[in-house]
């Protein structure tokens, strides 16, 4: 395809510019709720690429637009990152943004500012070639994903009124084309005991014992959770245990556990909660799903329940097949079609709103949240070309 060849040529031409843009984004620390500076830098980059319109919405999402047609396509990449963690585990400055040995180095290079930098170049290519289709393309630098995946798109759909017919997530995919992921939810269980002096524990009711029994039962539950042929097995993991007592010489009268629950196909919020309620039946315990509500850097307070639905699209779905055709046209082979292990903003895009979504992003999934994070410059080039051609493929 002549179009694919020309797009790939341009993406290679702008290779250094894409790497430089990613480097500039990586140099700016941008935890969830603290994305203002990186959002402003992304606005500058989109404007330099001659996007038709660039704005920041009420939640802080950067939204760049090219075209004004009736059909709507969107690309999404979040601009917030997790913290560095133990700095001793890094062999370089996490915010150096250094370009060397064919990689861009630093926190967010893979998760997931690399996809964002590639989006900017894709937009630049679309402008240079002229997008002569009845299409509006939005390139979204989204916020708060690391704290609450999908919240940004809940805002975009419900508050901004933008509802694409397809969304491409630019999260890292190890060069593959992704079409689904397990869902997840955050569940807590509170246990109420009765305190007594530690010298006479039989007089009280120890909340730690109650919670401990539930933890062991959850470990067993994990082994018998259902398996989906594509998405794999559901899982449950204990991630926090908190207890309290009047003193260190008293029986604990309070305990709380936090459960990370990954949902495979067919599992729901209701079924997952019922499973935990069954584990603590007979105990003085309360099972509940957490809620997220925080103030964005714009000052807008917003939130949602911390339930992130499972989603997948069939391999023969038009959105997936358009991606496969674009990939083959660019690289001369069919893509590896797979799924993410982790969660993405598509939990709301597809899981809540039923909008088709696919994933293609630069970098390795294993680099997400890891020390010494980096992304190959070659991946950035390939991703930019894929995004630009996909706009002509749907």
- Residue 53 falls inside a structural domain: yes
- CATH number of the domain bearing residue 242: 3.30.70.360
Helices (H) and strands (E) in the chain, counts: 10, 21
Domain shared by 154 and 53, yes or no = yes
Domain shared by 202 and 170, yes or no = no
Domain stop point among 295, 329, 362 = 295
Domain shared by 134 and 167, yes or no = yes
C-alpha separations of 198 from 192, 241, 247, 256 in Å: 17, 21, 9, 20
Domain stop point among 295, 319, 354 = 295
Q: Is the pLDDT of residue 231 over 90?
A: yes
As a whole number, the mean pLDDT across the chain is 97
Asked if residue 114 lies in contact with residue 26, where contact means CB atoms within 8 angstroms, the answer is no
pLDDT score for 336? 98
Active-site residue identified among 80, 149, 171, 267:
80
Q: Is the pLDDT of residue 218 over 90?
A: yes
**For helices 318-331 and 2-13, what crossing angle results, to 10°?**
70
> What is the mean predicted confidence (pLDDT) over 122-144?
97
CA distance 74 to 68: 13
Annotated active-site residue 101? The verdict is: no
Domain shared by 239 and 251, yes or no = yes
> What is the mean predicted confidence (pLDDT) over 85-104?
98
CB atoms within 10 A of CB 356: 21
Asked if residue 182 lies in contact with residue 311, where contact means CB atoms within 8 angstroms, the answer is no
Domain shared by 237 and 331, yes or no = no
> What is the mean predicted confidence (pLDDT) over 81-93?
97
CA distance 48 to 209: 61
- Residue 198 falls inside a structural domain: yes
Domain shared by 41 and 117, yes or no = yes
> What is the mean predicted confidence (pLDDT) over 241-256?
97
Confidence of residue 1 (pLDDT cuts 50, 70, 90): confident
- Residue 339 falls inside a structural domain: yes
- Residue 305 falls inside a structural domain: no
pLDDT score for 172? 98
Domain shared by 26 and 170, yes or no = yes
Q: Is the pLDDT of residue 322 over 80?
A: yes
- Residue 218 falls inside a structural domain: yes
Domain shared by 287 and 381, yes or no = no
The structural domain count of the chain equals 2
Quote the domain boundaries for residue 12: 2-181+310-393
Q: Around 240, how many Cα atoms within 13 Å sit in the side-chain half-sphere?
A: 11
Domain shared by 282 and 187, yes or no = yes
- Residue 300 falls inside a structural domain: no
- Residue 89 falls inside a structural domain: yes
pLDDT score for 214? 97
Active-site residue identified among 145, 149, 171, 379:
145
- Residue 302 falls inside a structural domain: no
Domain shared by 113 and 238, yes or no = no
pLDDT score for 227? 98
Domain shared by 201 and 286, yes or no = yes
Annotated active-site residue 44? The verdict is: no
Q: Is the pLDDT of residue 174 over 80?
A: yes
Confidence of residue 267 (pLDDT cuts 50, 70, 90): very high
Q: Is the pLDDT of residue 355 over 80?
A: yes
- CATH number of the domain bearing residue 69: 3.40.630.10
Domain shared by 356 and 369, yes or no = yes
């Amino acid at each position: 395809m002549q179009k694919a060849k020309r797009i790939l040529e341009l993406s290679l031409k702008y290779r250094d510019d894409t790497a430089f843009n990613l480097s500039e984004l990586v140099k700016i620390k941008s935890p969830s709720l603290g994305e203002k500076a990186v959002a402003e830098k992304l606005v500058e980059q989109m404007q330099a690429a001659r996007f038709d319109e660039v704005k920041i919405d009420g939640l802080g999402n950067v939204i760049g637009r090219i075209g004004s047609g009736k059909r709507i396509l969107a690309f999404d990449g979040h601009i917030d990152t997790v913290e560095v963690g133990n700095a001793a585990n890094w062999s370089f400055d996490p915010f150096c943004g250094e370009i060397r040995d064919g990689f861009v180095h630093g926190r967010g290079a893979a998760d997931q500012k690399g996809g964002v930098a590639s989006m900017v170049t894709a937009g630049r290519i679309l402008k240079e070639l002229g997008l002569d289709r009845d299409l509006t393309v939005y390139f979204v630098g989204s916020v708060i994903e690391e704290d609450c995946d999908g919240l940004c798109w809940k805002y975009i759909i419900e508050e901004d009124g933008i509802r694409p017919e397809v969304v491409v997530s630019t999260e890292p995919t190890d060069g593959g084309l992704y079409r689904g992921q397990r869902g997840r939810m955050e569940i807590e269980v509170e246990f109420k005991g009765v305190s007594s002096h530690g010298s006479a524990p039989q007089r009280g009711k120890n909340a730690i014992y109650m919670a401990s029994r539930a933890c062991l039962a959850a470990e067993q539950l994990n082994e018998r959770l259902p398996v989906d042929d594509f998405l794999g097995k559901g899982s449950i993991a204990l991630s926090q245990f908190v207890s309290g007592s009047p003193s260190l010489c008293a029986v604990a009268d309070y305990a709380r556990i936090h459960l990370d629950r990954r949902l495979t196909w067919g599992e729901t919020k209701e079924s997952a909660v019922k499973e935990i309620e069954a584990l603590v039946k007979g105990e003085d315990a309360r099972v509940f799903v957490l809620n997220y509500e925080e103030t964005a850097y714009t000052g807008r307070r917003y939130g949602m329940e911390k339930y992130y639905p499972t989603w997948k699209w069939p391999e023969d779905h038009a959105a997936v097949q358009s991606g496969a055709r674009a990939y083959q046209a660019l690289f001369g082979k069919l893509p590896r079609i797979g799924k993410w292990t982790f969660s993405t903003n598509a939990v709301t895009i597809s899981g809540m709103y039923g909008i088709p979504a696919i994933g293609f992003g630069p970098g390795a999934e294993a680099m997400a949240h890891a020390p010494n994070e980096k992304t190959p410059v070659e991946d950035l080039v390939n991703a930019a070309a894929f995004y630009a051609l996909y706009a002509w493929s749907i």
